[in-house]
Amino acid sequence: MRRHCSPIPFTRVVLITALALLVAAAAFAETGKPGFEQFLKIRTPNGVRLLDDGSMLALDRPDGVVQLYRFVPKTPGGSLKPGDTERIQLTHFPDGLSRYTTSRDGKRVILHHAWGGNENTQLTLLDLTAPEGSNTSPILANPKVQAQVNLWLRDDSGILYTANDESPNDFYVYRYDFATRKATKLVAREGSWGASDVTKDASRALITHAVSASHTEIFELDMASGKMTEITLKPADGTASNDAVGYMPDEKSVMIVSDYKDGRPRLYVRNLKSGKVSEPLRALRAYDLDGAGPNELRDMLAVVANQDGYAVPTMYTLPGFKPLPLPAEMEKGVLGIASFLQHTMIWTQSNARTPGLSYVSVYPAKGGPPVTRQLTWAEDQGIDIASFPLPELVKYTAFDGREIPGFLYMPPGAKKGTPIPFIIVYHGGPEGQSRPTFSATYQYYLTRGYGMLFPNVRGSTGYGREFEMADNYKGRWNSVKDGVDAAEWLVKSGYALPGRIATFGGSYGGFMSVACIVEDQERVDRGERKERLFGASVDIVGIVNMKSFLEKTSGYRRKLREVEYGPLTDPEFLASISSIHKIDKIQVPMFIGHGFNDPRVPVEEAMQIAIALKDRGLKPRVFVAPDEGHGFAKLDNRIYFYERTAQFLDETIGAQTPAAATTTAAPTN
């Protein structure tokens, strides 16, 4: 029986939340192992920028809220290791920073900050040369507007940024000059626009127009006249995803990463006068490119390829695209280029046992391998993170024969053939990808005896355009089937037992987490299986009603999301993929978490499913954080929610319950 849920009064959800949290507040049993709080406090400063005096800027959260800090060596030219530096806090925003960006000379910093997770990012200038108390001034201060710095002018005299100040649904491009402290509108067209690069004399800029995840247009803007010339790479009868990497050294050609030829994002060079297109890196044709970026001098280029979820960098000269040696310290995982000034590259490394450490590599002027040193170290809270297990790349066959990749994590001592409780984690997006990065949260579950599987269902990025678009609109439920097929594979392969598997996900992953419970029950109802595979579900800021989600999400997101999920003009289809209309199929315990200020997936999504389950006599656990948005950014909220999530999983699929003392124990439903 399908049931429509109308908007729910918040007071009812508050009561449900309070009752649920009282139930969830029971003390954890002593295990002799580090607790969740200890794991969640593992951290590494990130967003690193080295300054000329040897100090370092970085984002950190020693008090649980992300702020900007300056790390100053205690001795001139000394080490940046913890204990060898003085950490000076530069910002004190109640809800922290989302990001920051610096001028090339390191004198100016632009801070991005918002209130309570609402993502209406404000821009504030921090002058590192001015005395404290008089060193900040607003660039954009409007709590109803979202702004983002795109790039700095090459002489540091100003920035190009985007904002939706004139139309809440459209992002225009502006130029801000520090000398005049004035903003000039450059692009004012309907849609989401942004700037990717600018010429040295600031006369021309590369402008992008995001229509959807699979449709991006590129233009060159004449800054004086406002004339826009389209340079998009696209097939004659279709669209393509394009990313403007930047101008070539002579500024007569541009580099573009595009999937316009055969669905693989590759690097191309387009001559601006003739339109001729060449492909300089044919050796990388087998992989999607995560991205590419030139250094400040435009004589080097860093390129990162997506190889089955691993991020693998390569380096080249410009304009000749000759290979350069990589830093020897790079270990397999997800590697990213944080900044590339002159011949100094700051890069990050993340894998299951490396928590986003930052390094600096300096390339010698005469060529040869770079000299590399470490910039950040993990605050490991006394936990041996080097012993954390690495994942295995696995692939399983979906219902229609399509191959689905994923990452499988096994707790220490566990073996295939001896079933254990499992958590299947679905990524957000939907055009996202689960990748083998560091997660203290997931490593904690592994220490408690859970296995974890991260499937990259159809619709994920990293596997070509056709795979990415395979879930669009009418194909949406096929991705849900892929998610349930992951559980089928775990059981058939001897990793898990029916009823001892949980769904887990945030945002679109939250949609998947709930929808997979529905599909699982429908397979039982159709007689395809005798029993359910899932025994619990964790839904974090997830979508349960596509129609209400599209109606209430921020206006600038609606058009992009309708391409993925289906238009509001097709309400019958939207209802068919909405778990709220199949609420009778949800017969397993649920834990629902949401931020009250979420601008992407409004909190009403959590309200609807909580009330609908309550009205059916079920007792979902609910946590609504009043000071959060699309997820839980503050450490105290993360600890509160995830500790109770661990208890919920123990009580349902049971890694730590007496019934689960042996891995072959019968499921408890």
Q: Smallest Cα–Cα separation from 138: which of 127, 151, 130, 129?
A: 127
Coil vs helix vs strand at 367? coil
Rounded Cα gap, residues 106 and 128, in angstroms: 8
Query: What domain count does the chain have?
Result: 2
Residue 306 belongs to some domain of the structure: yes
Specify whether 578 is located in the same domain as 473. Answer: yes
Residue ending a domain, choose from 331, 354, 379: 379
pLDDT digits (tens, 9 = 90+) for 244-287: 999 999 999 999 999 999 999 999 999 999 999 999 999 999 99
Which residue in this structure is represented by tokens 């944080």?
338
Give 331's pLDDT tier (boundaries 50, 70, 90). confident
Specify whether 344 is located in the same domain as 432. Answer: no
Residue 325: Cβ within 10 Å count: 12
Specify whether 512 is located in the same domain as 412. Answer: yes
Burial string for 365-394 (b: 16+ CB within 10 Å, else e) reads eeeeebebeebbebbbeebebeebbebeeb
Residue 454: Cβ within 10 Å count: 26
Specify whether 314 is located in the same domain as 364. Answer: yes
Specify whether 552 is located in the same domain as 645. Answer: yes
Give 13's pLDDT tier (boundaries 50, 70, 90). very low
Residue 227 belongs to some domain of the structure: no
Residue 104 belongs to some domain of the structure: no
**pLDDT at residue 34 greater than cutoff 90:** no
Residues with Cβ < 8 Å from 623, sequence gap 6 or more?
17, 20, 21, 591, 592, 593, 594, 640, 641, 644
Q: Smallest Cα–Cα separation from 575: which of 485, 476, 505?
A: 476
**pLDDT at residue 23 greater than cutoff 80:** no
Rounded Cα gap, residues 248 and 319, in angstroms: 7
The angle that helices 10-24 and 604-615 make with each other, rounded to 10 degrees, is 70
Burial of 182 (0-12, 13-18, 19+ CB in 10 A): exposed
What's the one-letter identity of residue 599? P
Look up the CATH number of the domain holding residue 628. Answer: 3.40.50.1820
What percentage of the chain has pLDDT greater than the value 70?
93
Instruction: Specify the pLDDT at position 643.
Output: 93
Residue 130 belongs to some domain of the structure: no
pLDDT digits (tens, 9 = 90+) for 577-635: 999 999 999 999 999 999 999 989 999 999 999 999 999 999 999 999 999 999 999 99
pLDDT digits (tens, 9 = 90+) for 211-250: 988 899 999 999 999 999 999 999 988 999 999 999 999 9
Give the tokens for residue 81. Answer: 């290791």
What percentage of the chain has pLDDT greater than the value 90?
82
Instruction: Specify the pLDDT at position 415.
Output: 87
Specify whether 496 is located in the same domain as 428. Answer: yes
- 270 touches 231 (CB < 8 A): yes
**pLDDT at residue 2 greater than cutoff 50:** no
Rounded Cα gap, residues 532 and 187, in angstroms: 53
Instruction: Specify the pLDDT at position 32.
Output: 61
Residue 244: Cβ within 10 Å count: 26
**pLDDT at residue 25 greater than cutoff 90:** no
Query: In this predicted model, which residue has the larger pLDDT, 403 or 35?
Result: 403
Helix, strand and coil percent figures for the chain, each rounded to 5: 20, 35, 45
Q: Please report the beta strands in 203-287, taking only residues with DSSP state E, as ranges in sequence order.
A: 204-212, 215-222, 228-230, 242-247, 253-258, 266-271, 277-278
Specify whether 510 is located in the same domain as 601. Answer: yes
**pLDDT at residue 1 greater than cutoff 50:** no
Concatenating the DSSP letter of every residue in 164-207 gives: -SS-TT-BEEEEEETTTTEEEEEE--SSEEEEEEE-TTSSEEEE
Instruction: Specify the pLDDT at position 247.
Output: 98
**pLDDT at residue 15 greater than cutoff 60:** no
Residue ending a domain, choose from 379, 408, 442: 379
**pLDDT at residue 565 greater than cutoff 50:** yes
pLDDT digits (tens, 9 = 90+) for 400-436: 999 999 999 999 889 888 999 999 999 998 889 999 9
Specify whether 334 is located in the same domain as 439. Answer: no
Residue 647 belongs to some domain of the structure: yes
Residue 576 belongs to some domain of the structure: yes
pLDDT digits (tens, 9 = 90+) for 543-557: 999 999 999 998 888
- Please report the sign of the dihedral spanned by the C-alpha atoms of residue 593, residue 596, residue 600, residue 605: positive
156 vs 69, 110, 632, CA distance in Å?
A: 22, 12, 35
- The residue-averaged pLDDT of 132-159 equals 94
What's the one-letter identity of residue 593? G
DSSP H stretches of helix in 328-474: 440-447, 465-469
Residue 58 belongs to some domain of the structure: no
Q: Smallest Cα–Cα separation from 646: which of 443, 466, 484?
A: 443
Give the tokens for residue 133. Answer: 């108390």
Distance of CA 382 to the CA centre of its chain: 28
Q: Any idea what DSSP says for residue 69?
A: E
Instruction: Specify the pLDDT at position 660.
Output: 36
313-320, Cβ contacts within 8 angstroms, sequence gap of 24 or more: 313/337, 313/347, 314/281, 314/284, 316/281, 318/248, 318/249, 318/294, 319/248, 319/249, 319/250
CA angle 533, 538, 540 (to 5 degrees): 145
Specify whether 416 is located in the same domain as 369. Answer: no
Specify whether 487 is located in the same domain as 583. Answer: yes
Give the tokens for residue 527. Answer: 């007689």
Rounded Cα gap, residues 391 and 437, in angstroms: 10
Range of the structural domain that residue 522 is part of: 395-658
Rounded Cα gap, residues 441 and 632, in angstroms: 13
What's the one-letter identity of residue 382? G
- The residue-averaged pLDDT of 143-170 equals 95
Q: Mean pLDDT over all residues of the chain? A: 90
Specify whether 499 is located in the same domain as 637. Answer: yes
Specify whether 400 is located in the same domain as 335. Answer: no
Residue 576: Cβ within 10 Å count: 16
Instruction: Specify the pLDDT at position 31.
Output: 52
**pLDDT at residue 658 greater than cutoff 80:** no
Give 340's pLDDT tier (boundaries 50, 70, 90). very high
Residue 547: Cβ within 10 Å count: 20
Residue 329 belongs to some domain of the structure: yes
CA dihedral defined by 261, 267, 271, 275, rounded to 10 degrees?
10
Q: Smallest Cα–Cα separation from 618: which of 551, 498, 542, 537?
A: 537
